[in-house]
Structure 1
Amino acid sequence: METEGPRTDRLGLLLDQFDQAREMAQVRLTGLGDEEYLWEPAPGSWSVRRRGEAPTPRAYGPGEWVLDKGAPDIPANEYAEIARQAASGMTVAKIAEDWSVGVERVEEVLAHVGEPEPDDVPLTTIAWRLGHLHSCFAGQWEWTFGERRQDPNFLVDFTPSAAVGLDRFWALIDRWRESVAVVTEEQLDTVGFSQYPYGSDPDDPFITVLAGANLEFIHHMAEIALLRDLWRTRSGPRR
């Protein structure tokens, strides 16, 4: 029996990469329970919390439960991206708008020399990582394939239930994948095919947006996998 070989076209490569990452992630998330989902690996961790109980200044969500979000800034691991945006012709004012920071902060980043100091950021729960990914993909779907009008901060009804959160997440991921699968070559090269307002999507060809979405999915799922390992071994190895 003959099987279809791997695709080598641009969209096919990105879809295959996404499919493999999704398959591995779904296996790694099997058996996730509520206690583990909300486990805070260190004091001050960001998570999903009841509205009014979040300690962060920009926690968001449309319902009873919101996702922690801190004050706007440009993390050190994004300094290279800021340099790329400036090199591509984006103005300092536009970069500042995209990152919700002042022009002075962008100028400070662009003037930085040498290796940046490591980011001092809070640890996050599995609930936070999944919620963050869900929010990103929901927003990008709405502002690429949807009506392009709903605020991304109000698209995901966050939940303290691991089972409910995963069901909603995989449904959204499947919708994203189905929509991406029929994108044309012309659309891949279209600057602004995605109008997602948080980031540089409106200024990028869609193939760049897709590559970035894959990277976002892969690196956050790797973090979630590590959190699962830490949860499993938190009281020492089990015999």
Structure 2
Amino acid sequence: MTEGTRTDRLGLLLGQFDQAGEMARVRLKGLGDDEYLWEPVPGSWSIRRRGEAPTPRAYGPGEWVLDRGAPDIPAAEYAEVARQAAGGMTVSRIAEDWSVSVERVEQVLAHRGEPVPDETPVTTIAWRLGHLHSCLAGQWEWTFGERRREPRLLVDFSPSASVALHRFWDLIDRWRESLATVTEEQLDTVGFSRYPYGSDSDDPFVAVLAGANLEFIHHMAEVSLLRDLWRGRFTASE
């Protein structure tokens, strides 16, 4: 074990977050606007000027909005819905969490066998960063902030990669500083985070923090892959 390495619950989660952040900062160096907004395939989700988004629930407080589709429970989340139900969440609460009907939740809970994979949209780097920024900004506001502002109006999305990254890393630093103050008691507190989307308010904060780390890691992995594809888009052999 490296000298000084923390092995307590918060220490392990902070260490994981720090390592993922260090790798992400290296991987995102030199990101330009064209690459940031590059749509690998037709119909990709991205950020758009208000009024130009083709998706029904695109959101944002300013001129640029983030694509967002109709509410549903994707096949990859069927197991999460089952866990929510097993953990005591009512069907109506789960439906509210996913912004779907009670009938849709019942359909998911009644499903047997492997779910058919969804045809999910390909997303741009701008979308991935914007989505992650929006989620973390909302979680900070509803955990350490005033717990009153609408999460989807907290981030002013930008078509500039440098502007977006500057704002994003500022948030990451603020999130990390706030996490360092969390006590053991708060880690076990159900509802320490009151973030209104997802199951944060029904979970102990240690589970919320683990989920936030997972979200950060998997989205940064996707961004890294998009950077690799951008770099190789004209060099791949026929």
- When normalised by structure 2's length, the TM-score is 0.98
Counterpart Cα distance in 1 of 2:26 and 2:73: 33
Corresponding position of 2:119:
120
Deviations along 1:32-78, whole A, 9 cap, x unmatched?
A: 00000000010000001000000000000000000000000001110
Task: Kindly report structure 1 stretches of 4+ aligned residues shifted beyond 4 Å.
Answer: none
Q: Distance in 1 between matches of 2:121 and 2:165?
A: 23
How much does 1:4 deviate?
A: 4.0
Secondary structure at the aligned position of 1:66 is classed as strand
Partner of 1:131: 130
Deviation per CA, 1:86-143, whole angstroms, max 9, x where unpaired? 0001000000000000001000100111111111111000000000000000000000
Structure 1 residues without counterparts, runs of 5 or longer: none
Any idea what the Cα deviations from partners look like across 1:189-225, whole Å, max 9, x if unmatched? 0000000000000000000000000000000000000
SS of the counterpart of 1:121? Answer: coil
State the alpha-carbon separation in 2 of the partners of residues 174 and 5 from structure 1: 21
Residue 146 of structure 2 is aligned to residue 147 of structure 1? yes
Shift of 1:226: 0.3
Report the Cα offset of residue 235 of structure 1.
1.0
Aligned to 2:23: 24
Q: CA deviation at 1:237?
A: 4.3
Match of 2:92 in 1: 93
1:5 positional shift: 2.4
Partner of 2:196 in structure 1? Answer: 197
Paired residue secondary structure (2:68) = coil
In the alignment, the residues of structure 1 paired with residue 118 and residue 17 of structure 2 have an alpha-carbon distance, to the nearest angstrom, of 28
The 2-side partners of 1:94 and 1:145 are apart by 24
Partner Cα separation in structure 2 for residue 237 and residue 15 of structure 1: 38
Distance in 1 between residues matched to 2:103 and 2:24, nearest whole Å: 39
Aligned to 1:11: 10
User: Residue 179 of structure 1 aligns to which amino acid in structure 2?
Assistant: S
State how far apart, in whole Å, the 1-side matches of 2:79 and 2:57 are.
Answer: 25
- State the partner residue of 1:41: 40
**Does residue 1:110 correspond to 2:141, yes or no?**
no
* Structure 2 SS opposite 1:49: strand
Read off the aligned partner of 2:89 and give its amino acid letter: M
Alpha-carbon separation, structure 2, partners of 1:178 and 1:102: 38
TM-score when normalising by structure 1: 0.97
For 1:206 and 1:125, the matched residues in 2 are separated by: 30
Structure 2 unmatched runs, 5+:
none
Number of equivalenced pairs = 236
CA distance in 2, matches of 1:237, 1:116: 34
Name the structure 1 match of 2:218: 219
1:236 counterpart letter in structure 2: T
Equivalent pairs: percent with the same residue?
A: 81
Structure 1 position 186 matched with structure 2 position 185: yes
1:169 to 2:172 alignment: no
Q: How many Å separate the matches in 2 of 1:111 and 1:186?
A: 37
